[in-house]
């Protein structure tokens, strides 16, 4: 018996198709730019971005089409084995994304705040979600073993990462606030003495601004990821600790569908907030083929703190 109305299934199908198509093209484009543009791919930051894009691309060509076709048919089409595979792919890629975002946060923290410090096994199961067209962890199962696994997932795969994000980016922002006077002084030196080429001051000024831009792009990507997945994490946590169940499936289906939008939000955040990515896109489609300036990559491990003097 269908759980949603015909309109509900039609809306879910259309949404999943749009998310899948956008996710496929957006992440394919990010991968193309990172691999083909004359970018400093040796930089750790770019490799981490590539990791996120590949993970989101895998979701858009595997889990999302299975859910979309099942939504069109108004029930899960691919048996328990397919459910396990789809749930495993979605969960693993999501876990890969949040771990990569955590790695980016830690990397930016080290680069900016501490540059001198740089030298499926039967515990739980995957099951169709409440509306019957996609699969995930068995959040509704309150048996001791499954509940213990779900609590470990929420703490280890969400809460700890949020703490890491908060710690790293709050320290980064605090460090940047301490360099505001340095930026103003360097800018004043460059502008007031325009007849003298002060290369060192220009490089310091440019490097600080570059760090800020790269960090803003990283912060935007992790914020988009958390905005997409936090409602889903909260509703799953609620079902774990409460026996109450909503009479309608919409309180569950909305955060679930919203979470799947992360495969589009990540490349979109990269395109909107990363100036080096946009420059690489221009270079990729430019006939002149100008070389990419490595300093704009912002991945060189240079201390900011000494610039206060």
Burial per residue of 118-157, b for 16 or more beta-carbon CB atoms within 10 angstroms, e otherwise = eeeeeebbbbbbbbbbbbbbbbebeeeebbebbeebbeee
Half-sphere exposure of 274 (CA within 13 A, CB side): 26
Confidence of residue 18 (pLDDT cuts 50, 70, 90): very high
Which pair of tokens denotes residue 35?
């691999």
pLDDT of residue 189: 65
pLDDT computed for residue 191 by the predictor: 62
* CA–CA dist 199, 201 (Å, integer): 6
What is the predicted pLDDT for the residue at 308? 42
Task: Give the mean model confidence (pLDDT) for residues 106-131.
Answer: 67
Give residue 118's pLDDT. 46
Contact indicator for 138, 126 with CB cutoff of 8 Å = yes
Greater confidence (268 vs 205) lies with 268
Conformation bin of residue 79: beta by default, left when phi > 0, alpha when psi is -120 to 50: left
Asked if 163 contacts 100 with a C-beta cutoff of 8 angstroms, the reply is no
**Residue 90 reports pLDDT greater than 60:** yes
**Positive or negative, the Cα torsion across 250, 252, 256, 259?**
positive
Asked whether residue 22 carries a pLDDT value surpassing 90, the answer given is yes
Domains of the chain: 6-308 (1.20.1070.10)
pLDDT at position 305, please?
A: 42
The confidence score (pLDDT) of residue 138 equals 79
pLDDT above 90: residue 28: yes
What confidence category does residue 105 fall into, taking pLDDT thresholds of 50, 70 and 90? confident
Task: Give yes or no for residue 174 having a pLDDT over 80.
Answer: yes
Residue pair 198/189 in contact by the 8 Å Cβ criterion = yes
Which pLDDT band holds residue 235 (cuts at 50, 70, 90)?
confident
What is the reported pTM? 0.69
The pLDDT assigned to 2 comes to: 56
pLDDT of residue 40: 54
pLDDT at 78: 87
């Amino acid at each position: 018996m269908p759980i949603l109305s015909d309109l509900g299934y039609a809306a879910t199908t259309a949404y999943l198709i749009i998310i899948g198509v956008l996710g496929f093209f957006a992440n394919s484009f990010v991968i193309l730019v990172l691999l083909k543009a004359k970018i400093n791919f040796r930089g750790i930051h770019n490799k981490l971005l590539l990791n996120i894009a590949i993970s989101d691309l895998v979701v858009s060509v595997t889990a999302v089409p299975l859910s979309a076709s099942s939504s069109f048919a108004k029930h899960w089409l691919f048996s328990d084995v397919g459910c396990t595979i789809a749930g495993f792919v979605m969960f693993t890629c999501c876990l890969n994304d949040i771990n990569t975002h955590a790695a980016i946060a830690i990397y930016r923290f080290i680069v900016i705040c501490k540059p001198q410090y740089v030298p499926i096994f039967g515990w739980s199961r995957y099951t169709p979600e409440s509306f019957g067209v996609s699969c995930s962890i068995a959040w509704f199962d309150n048996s001791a073993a499954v509940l213990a696994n779900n609590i470990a997932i929420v703490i280890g795969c969400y809460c700890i990462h949020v703490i890491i994000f908060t710690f790293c980016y709050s320290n980064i922002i605090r460090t940047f606030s301490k360099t505001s006077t340095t930026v103003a002084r360097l800018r004043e030196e460059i502008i007031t003495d325009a007849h003298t080429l002060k290369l060192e001051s220009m490089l310091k000024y440019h490097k600080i601004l570059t760090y800020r831009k790269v960090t803003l792009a990283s912060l935007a990507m992790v914020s988009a990821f958390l905005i997409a997945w936090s409602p889903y994490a909260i509703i799953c946590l609620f079902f774990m600790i409460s026996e109450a169940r909503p009479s309608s499936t919409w309180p569950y289906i909305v955060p679930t569908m919203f979470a799947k939008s992360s495969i589009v939000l990540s490349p979109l955040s990269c395109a909107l907030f990363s100036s080096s990515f946009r420059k690489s896109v221009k270079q990729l489609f430019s006939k002149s083929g100008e070389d990419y300036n490595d300093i704009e990559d912002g991945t060189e491990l240079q201390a900011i703190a000494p610039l206060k003097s």
